[in-house]
Structure 1
Amino acid sequence: MQDYRTQLEKLRKDAAECALIRDLATDKAKQELFGRLADQLNVLADQVETAMNERKAV
């Protein structure tokens, strides 16, 4: 379960970093790219968290 927690924290951190880069970028293409990356990483983190919660329930 600790592996899941570690990966979840890494995904959340990476998503936050992408969002920060998106917010600081002046180039529209970079803003869009890093915005999409942040969104995708958040989706992955949500999926890992759901899997963790399902394993706890079993």
Structure 2
Amino acid sequence: MKDMRTQAEKLRTDAAECALIRDLATDTKKRDLFTRLADHLNALAAEVERAIEQSEGRDPATQ
């Protein structure tokens, strides 16, 4: 379980870094790319966190 939490944390960190790059980018295409990357990484982190909650017997939909 600890490994999954570490992975979720890494995904969130990577998403934040992509968002930072996006904010600093001057090129529109690069901004769009890093926006999509940040969104995708956040979605992956949410899926991992949901899996953790389910494996612990908690229903994430009720929280």
TM-score w.r.t. length of structure 1:
0.97
Answer yes or no: is 1:25 the counterpart of 2:13: no
The whole-number CA distance in structure 1 between the counterparts of 2:52 and 2:31 is 31
Shift of residue 28, structure 1, vs aligned partner: 0.3
Structure in which a larger fraction of residues adopt helix: 1
The whole-number CA distance in structure 2 between the counterparts of 1:37 and 1:9 is 16
- Partner amino acid for 1:46? A
- Partner amino acid for 2:55? R
| Structure 1 unaligned blocks of 5 or more | none
Shift of residue 34, structure 1, vs aligned partner: 0.2
SS state at 2:56 partner: helix
The two structures, once aligned, show a CA RMSD in angstroms of: 0.9
| Structure 2 unaligned blocks of 5 or more | 59-63
Which portions of structure 1, spanning 4 or more consecutive aligned residues, are displaced by more than 3 angstroms? none
The whole-number CA distance in structure 1 between the counterparts of 2:8 and 2:47 is 9
How many percent identity over aligned positions? 64
> Which residue does the alignment assign to 1:56?
56
TM-score w.r.t. length of structure 2:
0.90
Show the 5 A alignment for 1:1-58.
1-57=1-57
Q: How many residues align?
A: 58
